[in-house]
Amino acid sequence: MTSQIETLKLEIIDLKSQLLQKELLLSQLQEKNEGFNKYSESLSTGEVVRYSRQIIMPSFTVDGQKSLKNSKLLIVGVGGLGCPAALYLAAAGIGHITLLDYDEVELSNLHRQILHNEFDVRSNKVDSAFKKLKRINRHITVEPINIHVNSSSITEIISKTKYNVVIDGSDNVATRYLLNDVCVLNKIPLVSGSALQMEGQLTVYNYNGGPCYRCLFPVPPPAYTVTNCGDGGVLGPIPGTIGVLQALEAIKILTKTPGVLCGRLLLFDGSNTTFRNIKLRPRNKSCAVCGDSPTVTSLIDYEQFCGASAHDNVINIDILKTNQNTDIKSIVNAKNNIIIDVRPKIEYQMCRLPNTTNIPLNDLKKEKHLDKVKDILETSKETDVFVLCRRGNDSQRAIVLFKEKFSSLPINFINVSGGLHSYSKHVDPSFPAY
Ligand SMILES: Nc1ncnc2c1ncn2[C@@H]1O[C@H](COP(=O)(O)OP(=O)(O)OP(=O)(O)O)[C@@H](O)[C@H]1O
Ligand SMILES: [Zn+2]
């Protein structure tokens, strides 16, 4: 069975490389066939036909198309926002698109990161996106850069290419400040978007005298107040909508079309399908980066500034003594022990281990739920109680609460290190590591 799978994988790799070679040849032949034509000054026959539906709009014209063709655009993050934005921008004929991301495609990305598909799982996001965008439009240059963007890498990238617009498709505050500052210092408009659960936001910073991100948020929010899609969830069409609108704003900026969303913030609520625009404060004259006497005149360490890392990977906490932790295998061997799973109820419904009791961490702050735990503990003869969660962090927080509330009971609360992720990795891969 395993060898059959391996053989099939190798065959697929071989077929893919044959396909790539044929596509390359095809595109070279088509290129020759579609050179500049005597009927159009600056566009090839193929380009005239391809873009005709946007060119014929009085607000766009051949000049608009030429502007897009001569534009260079940078997309940071090829995830929920970056994928739909890149799709429309490539289709519209932006001459040069650089894609930056450090991550690999995961199965849990596919419901919203629509450039990637099942065959791309475990591939670099930028390579996966590159292939799809070139298939949509082989006339444009797509530059995939597999990199974690920080102050030094972005400085190098920006110094090599003169970008006209930057799209922020990232998912963390440190990267947002970094992109804001690099755009202000290099006078590049920044199209910023965000999406979580059923809501999205969109605005353009640093454009036409409007505010920058720091003008509005001079101080970063405390790290624990920021929720990402991995924890809060998101419905695919929400970043889809915002990402497409980011593409629209970029096209308007590049073609000098009026009506760019600067100095305003668009709020999209997908739960009742409403769009609201709110007016933003104007540029702050005392802003640290775009103000009249800026104090930030070169890029700084943004992870330090925000007190949070520039990715959404979960940081493992370690707040218990060593003897209060155990590894996942001990709960597999444990017979009759009480195992409390402190994940939210929805996650417990999604997947769970047998013989576990769900008492969500958030409920533990409420007295009535604590009474329920007390009942379970008092009626059991066991003194060891295992506490379990998704990755082994909330279980530690729960133990701190348990020990505080049930100090009178002769119970050992034991944290299952690494939580259910560890179960999936070390015990049974068929348990979903979501
Ligand atoms: N500093 C950075 N450099 C490069 N890429 C970044 C940086 N910060 C964020 N990103 C990328 O931005 C993308 C954001 O995508 P998205 O918000 O859809 O979340 P995700 O991390 O792919 O998924 P999930 O949150 O579900 O795990 C990710 O692909 C991430 O790797
Ligand atoms: Zn500012």
Ligand 1 atom 17: residue of nearest CA: 171
Let me know: does 223 contact 314? Beta carbons within 8 Å. Answer: no
Residue-level length of the chain: 434
| CA atoms within 13 Å, Cβ hemisphere of 366 | 8
Token pair belonging to 336: 């009759």
Distance CA 420, CA 432 (A): 9
What tens digit of pLDDT does each residue of 325-350 get? 999 988 888 777 899 999 999 999 99
Count helices and strands (H / E) in the chain.
16, 13
Please say whether the dihedral angle defined by the alpha carbons of residues 298, 299, 301 and 304, taken in this order, is positive or negative: positive
- Work out which ligand 1 atom sits closest to the CA atom of 147: 4
**What residues have their beta carbon closer than 5 A to ion ligand 2?**
212, 214-215, 287, 290
Residue showing tokens 């009942």: 375
| Dist CA 138 CA 31 (whole Å) | 9
**Residue 389 appears among annotated catalytic residues:** yes
For residue 76, which phi and psi values (nearest 5 degrees)? -105, 115
Alpha helices, DSSP H, located in 201-236: 213-216, 229-232
Res. 41: pLDDT tops 80: no
- What is the dihedral sign for C-alpha 363, 367, 368, 371? positive
Mean pLDDT of 397-424: 92
Question: What's the 286 CA to ligand 1 centre distance in angstroms?
Answer: 31
**Is pLDDT larger for residue 405 or for residue 63?**
63
What does the pLDDT average to over 378-405? 91
Q: Which of 74, 81, 102 to mutate to test the pocket of ligand 1 (most atoms within 8 A of CB)?
A: 102
Q: Are strands 264-269 and 274-279 parallel, antiparallel or unpaired?
A: antiparallel
Has residue 216 got a pLDDT over 80? yes
Better-predicted residue by pLDDT, 318 or 236? 236
Q: Which of 155, 312, 314, 315 to mutate to test the pocket of ligand 1 (most atoms within 8 A of CB)?
A: 312
Burial of 361 (0-12, 13-18, 19+ CB in 10 A): middle
For the chain, give the percent of residues with pLDDT over 70. 98
pLDDT beyond 90 at 130: yes
pTM of the entire predicted model: 0.87
For the stretch 281-315, pLDDT in tens is 999 999 999 999 999 999 999 999 999 988 876 77
pLDDT band at 241 (very low <50, low <70, confident <90, very high): very high
pLDDT at position 29 is 75
* Phi, psi for 140 (deg, rounded to 5): -95, 160
Q: 84 Cβ partners below 8 Å, 6+ apart?
A: 114, 239, 240, 243, 244, 247
Phi/psi for 221 (5° steps) reads -70, 155
Is residue 34 pLDDT above 80, yes or no?
A: no
Residue 277: is its pLDDT beyond 80?
Answer: yes
Q: For residue 375, what pLDDT band results from cuts at 50, 70 and 90?
A: confident
| Binding site members | 80, 101, 108-112, 125, 171-172, 212, 215, 287, 290
Asked if the model's pLDDT at residue 364 lies above 80, the reply is: yes
Q: Which atom of ligand 1 is nearest to the CA of 113?
A: 18
- The HSE-up count of residue 167 (CA atoms within 13 Å, CB side) is 35
Q: Which residues line ligand 1 (CB under 6 A)?
A: 76-80, 100-103, 108-109, 113, 125, 148-149, 169-172, 175, 228-230, 310-312
Any idea which of 5-19, 84-98, 181-195 has the lowest mean pLDDT?
5-19
Q: Is the ipTM of this complex over 0.95?
A: yes
